[in-house]
Amino acid sequence: MLAIGTAALIAGGFITAAPAAADGQACWPSGCASSPAAGARFVSHGDIFYVRDYRADGKATAGMIEYYVPGEGWYRPGEWVVYNRNGYAGPPEKRNYEIAEGSQVRYMSCLVNGSTLDCTDWRYDRA
């Protein structure tokens, strides 16, 4: 579920808008509400990326993340593919990135099938 929030701030007689915060999740195979096997979640406050395993099927999960720099294109942070080999009962994998406030972010969730990845489409949010 995508939650977008803005707030108006009055500072010295001017009204300014706070940057939009977006937290979202991408789940494989058919969405987060229908018993997914894999999930990737981005939390804009702190630029935290989680990769979860939602099914006790013996398969690992993965998440991929990129951010956009206007006029330059999509960039991949140092560890842009995050694997979760902790299993269903284990904790999610968590990474904390430094992404410029308000930057567009895209990510996907994947199920690892041997040497291939079955992935969602890109999910777009803002840092």
Domain ranges (residues) in the chain:
22-126
pLDDT of residue 63: 98
CATH topology of domain 22-126: Immunoglobulin-like (2.60.40)
pLDDT of residue 23: 82
- The parts of the chain modelled with pLDDT lower than 50 are 1-20
pLDDT of residue 34: 85
Paired with 108 in beta bridges are 64
Buried/exposed code over 46-65 (b: 16+ C-beta within 10 A; e: otherwise): ebebbbbbbeeeebbbbbbb
Binning the chain into helix, strand and coil, the percentages to the nearest 5 are 0, 55, 45
Count CB-CB contacts under 10 A for residue 92: 18
Cα angle value 91/92/95 (rounded, 5°): 130
